[in-house]
């Protein structure tokens, strides 16, 4: 999918509204419109990467994006009061349940996640 047709790129470019929780130069975090938990946020890099299969192991920017995302997730969880813990999910490809082809982390918490 091209960036011009990507839902999350359109959200990043403010072409489509979203309830933004966090934003910096490289990442955006917003509420999922179909939440599966009391807190259900999506954390996305602003750079369009379709999924884990599209990461280039030789691209230092890809390494930076993924490591920074993993460092950002607990920061956002703490800001959302998820002191008890939280779940992160990253779906890859149709068999992995990916629906939007822009890499994104689901950050879930605020209740009993054993049912999910």
99: domain CATH number is 3.30.428.10
Residues 6+ apart with CB under 8 A from 85: 109
Which residue, among 35, 106, 46, 112, has the nearest Cα to 77 in the 3D structure?
Answer: 106
Average pLDDT over the chain reads 94
Per-residue pLDDT at 4: 76
The catalytic residue positions are 104
Say how many domains are in the chain. Answer: 1
Per-residue pLDDT at 54: 97
Question: What is the span of the domain harbouring residue 86?
Answer: 3-115
Task: Give the three-state DSSP class for 50.
Answer: coil
Q: What is the four-CA torsion angle of 73, 74, 80, 83, rounded to 10 degrees?
A: 150
Per-residue pLDDT at 115: 62
Q: Residue 111: which pLDDT band, with cuts at 50, 70 and 90?
A: confident
Q: pLDDT for 9-62, tens place per residue?
A: 999 999 999 999 999 999 999 999 999 999 999 999 999 999 999 999 999 999
């Amino acid at each position: 999918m091209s960036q011009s047709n990507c839902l999350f790129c359109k959200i990043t470019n403010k072409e489509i509204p979203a309830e933004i929780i966090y934003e910096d130069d490289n990442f955006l975090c917003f509420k999922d419109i179909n939440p599966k938990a009391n807190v259900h946020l999506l954390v996305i890099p602003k750079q369009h990467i379709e999924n884990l299969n599209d990461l280039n192991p030789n691209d230092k920017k890809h390494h930076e994006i993924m490591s920074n995302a993993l460092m950002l997730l607990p920061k956002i969880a703490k800001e959302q009061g998820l002191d008890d813990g939280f779940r992160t999910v990253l779906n890859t490809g149709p068999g992995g349940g990916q629906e939007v082809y822009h890499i994104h982390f689901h950050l879930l918490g605020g209740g009993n996640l054993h049912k999910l």
